[in-house]
Amino acid sequence: MGYARGKCARCQGTNAGDAVRFLIAQDRDGFIRVEYVVERDHHPHRRGAFEYRRTRAALTGLAEDPVLERQVLSYVQSYLRRRPAA
């Protein structure tokens, strides 16, 4: 176990982070706001947010990173299993 950057061919380029942290910042009026922080070397590297629309079961404002999008969607789906309705 450890950090893969520079040691694994599957690890993304030099702009890649080591970990991603997610937070449900808000859940109301049919929208879930998910904030995230990408960490690198144990420090915040970049951050952002997504919105998930419950009625469409989809993210709005998609990111340029499809891997991050899938991670956020998985996080929201896990949240929805625990909290199906706000």
Q: What is the pLDDT of residue 79?
A: 97
Q: Give the end-to-end CA distance of the chain in Å, rounded to a whole number.
A: 37
Please, which contacts does 67-71 make with residues 24 or more away whose CB atoms are closer than 8 Å? 67/12, 68/20, 68/36, 68/38, 71/20, 71/22
Walk along the chain (86 residues) and give the pLDDT tens digit of each residue.
456 666 677 666 656 678 899 999 999 999 999 999 998 888 888 899 999 999 999 998 766 788 889 999 999 999 999 988 75
Asked whether 59 and 50 are in contact (CB, 8 A), the reply is: yes
pTM (predicted TM-score) = 0.79
pLDDT the model gives residue 85 = 76
